[in-house]
Amino acid sequence: MASKKDDGHVNWMDQVSKDYNLDEEMKKHPGFGKPLPSRLFSGDIYSNFVNTAKEAGYLPPFVALQKEIGQEIAKALKLKEENTKESELTNVISEINLKIQKYNSTCPPSMQRGRISLDNIEKLYKIWE
């Protein structure tokens, strides 16, 4: 839209000049004039987003939390192998379960996972690693 001067008049030449400068700046971008990659039009939107984010080096918060939970479960397994007191191990597992609950609330439904216990910690560690 054209810019207005203080006296209410529109200076169309100033606006044309601004638009031209903006167009020239857009043409300097490396992707200008190139077609969009065909992979953007195949598959579902979420997968395209995840792949693009991975290429850019972005980790969603739930992926970082997933790695953290895997490390915590590995530590808990070591404690279990070292015959640590059951009460101490239960406290560690309850802290891990709180993180799992947070993970499940932020990740896509297909990636949600169950809580761990003393009985299933070995089996679920394989899923989390």
SS (H, E, C) the chain: CCCECCCCCECHHHHHHHHHHHHHHHHCCCCCCCCCCHHHHCCCHHHHHHHHHHHHCCCCHHHHHHHHHHHHHHHHHHHHHCCCCHHHHHHHHHHHHHHHHHHHHHCCHHHCCCCCCCCCHHHHHHHHC
**What's the pLDDT tens digit per position in 20-53?**
777 787 778 887 788 877 777 777 777 888 788 8
Residues of the chain with pLDDT under 70: 1-8
